[in-house]
Structure 1
Amino acid sequence: MTPVLSVEPLFAHNARAWLRGWVVSQAIALIIASLVALDRSQGSASTAPIPRIVAVVILVVLTHGLGYVFYPWILARRWAILLYVPLCYAIVVWGMVVHRAYGLLILPAILQGFLFLPFAWAAVILAALSVGLAWSVAVGARNESLFVALSRIGAVMGMGLMMGTVLLYIHRANREAALRNALIAQLDAAQRDLAERSREAGVLEERQRLSHDIHDTLSQAFASVIRHLETVDLALPSAPASAPDERWIPQVRSHLGYAQSVSRSSLAEIRRLVLALRPSELSNAPLAAALERVATQWGEAHGVRTTFVADALPALLEDAEVVFLRATQESLSNVARHAKATSVTITLSCIDELVMLTVEDDGDGFAQAETAGGTTCGLSGMRERARRLGGYVLVDTTPGEGTSLTLAMPLAAIVASSRDAEAPA
């Protein structure tokens, strides 16, 4: 249920309990008022009011039943509220015209205002009804003494003031509770986001560590085994196998061939595992295509105009591609969370033997002092990853004028050799 008015009704959060109280109180008031009206009607010479009394009862029961059953539906539509509430009040006023006893319906009608209308609107209605009742009492007491008239008027106004004070207290308590709930929800969301980001960071770090360990140990070891076995194979004499002292050579060569085959298979499997540990965005696409896909998907998800421009680049080391990809994702995440930007431009270029990734937005920006320590928006991790490959990160930002982040790494340090480029195949 989402109220369409600018402020929720006072009792919207505990609606069902208050609705039951409203219906029960109105039913009690209706029964008492109707019995009084019927008693007065039977004692008079005319029985004309009886059909009107029946009509008042039917209309009150019908409107209050509809309000109880369709409360969420009415509260979600402005036109329904503006039609339903005045209709109910009009029926109450008409009931008072039929017989003064139906003035008992006013108190439940006040409660109805705080169930269907914002607090300010309902408070105005309460004040108007209090003044109206006071005026009615004053007119009815015009033949009484001044003290009696003032006492009755004071009682009515005091009751209205007391009711208004109680309702104002409830309103403030509800507002403070809503603020606390909103703050708790924000803290929970921030905690979940932090936990998710920490988990993702831990997974990525472990994947990178495992990838490096496999490459630096097992992969190099198998490559060394293959080279040694190939050297031994070449060093063996090539005399005919029928020579008495060379009968062992075929067996040796068979074992060597088997060892080479196993080593090559193991090396291929290790390279496959290393490739599988790469980010999924880079598994089936070159760096430029992966960055463009990330930028496009992010722009569509956040409704921000995103432009990607890339120069032709040679094949880069896998580690360097991962750094560029993670820097792009982190920068876009920061733009979404902090910048309030309407457009983002991502550029991948090679200038003066430097491969540079630039992410520019037209958002709010922030103070340069916040970036000095590298603790803002994940800059610390971004700088650390770039530093491992001889790179650096620069941030150019001014509050209110957007932000430009540049990650640069030397081409010579991150360009892939022919062996590196062919390794995953």
Structure 2
Amino acid sequence: MPVRDTGGVPVPDQPPMSRAYVTADRYVQWGGHLLFAVLMGIGLARAVSGATGSPVPVILGATAVACWYVFGAIAIAVRRGHRERAWVLILLAAWTVLTVFSPDFVWVAFVLAMLCWHFLPLTLAVPAELIVAVVAVTAALREGPVGAGSVLGPLIGIATAIAVTETVHRVVDAAAARDALASELAQTQLRLARQEREAVVLAERERMGSEIHDGAGQALAGIVMLLQSATDPEVEPQRRQAQATTALEMATTALAQTRSFLRDLDGSAVGADGLAAGLQGAVDQAGRLGLAAELHVHGTPAALSEQSRSVLVRAAQEALANTARHAQATRAMVTLTVVGDEVHLDVVDDGRGFDPAQTGSGTGFGLSGLRSRVARCGGAVTIDSEPGDGTTVHVCLPIEAVGGAR
């Protein structure tokens, strides 16, 4: 928001004029108009009172200068552009001619010095100020006794006008920069708030996806396996009936879990005494899918946070479900061990194994979601497997983990 022309010199992009700048600029303009009217009035009064001949030429000249000033002030107020340069230069020339007829108008030099410094580019402002100084000093020498005061007085006045104008420029520019900085800060805060909201939405979406996958998703996968077997005509009718009954029980349990999750928006809660029960539930569900599994617990991780307990249960569910669906295993063992300030969960099976570096045939969401959950609790997941040699899924969590893996 430049307040003066730079004479074509490139300047950085400036923000739009702020309300503070517009108000300050309006006050400066009206102050200049008032000062011009007062100084012109003083000059005209002195010129008329001290005229030795007819004052009509002086009055007409002063009127012409005043009319030109009013015309330019109105034109600039309506639409600013390069027209103020011509207006100032013509006003300077008219004042010079008027001062030749009557040196009493030397008082207007103060306003002209301000106008030249305000509206003209530096390449024109400096010569214009020199002209104002020369005309003012010449008029002062004609009007009064020759002396140092006749020279220093106009020069000091012009220098003061330039200094005042430059000070106003700097104050207005500082206010504009402050407004621009405040606006940029507000925009940055809005952008950060938006990014934070987006991050929260993504985190919540990931949490809900993980909950659905580990809860209803795993149950549905087991139900599909059971129903596929129950509808196989080669399976004995008694076994098919048992598998259909088990599928119904799993569907009922999954429905209850889903309702609890939708009601509380948190289907992962595992109480302080519910870790062993949750792990046993994962083992029992694997048994219903045809995988013989057993649980061994060594120690009591009572200091674990609710989120960490939930992660351990979900880890066991995920590992056992993958084993039942893909590993072609006959047995699996789940072991929970407390060692110092850490708790370790191991899920070992005797299946066909796989290469952990290769992506499996599933969705890939289970293991990635598990790693993310464990990482948010400050732990780590390790998968040890080779084709034909079974699989071991190891989860390590700090005992005092209170992270928000929800």
Q: Based on CA coordinates, which of the two structures has the bigger radius of gyration? A: 2
Q: Structure 2 length as normaliser, TM-score?
A: 0.48
Q: Structure 1 length as normaliser, TM-score?
A: 0.46
- Bigger fraction of residues in helix: 1
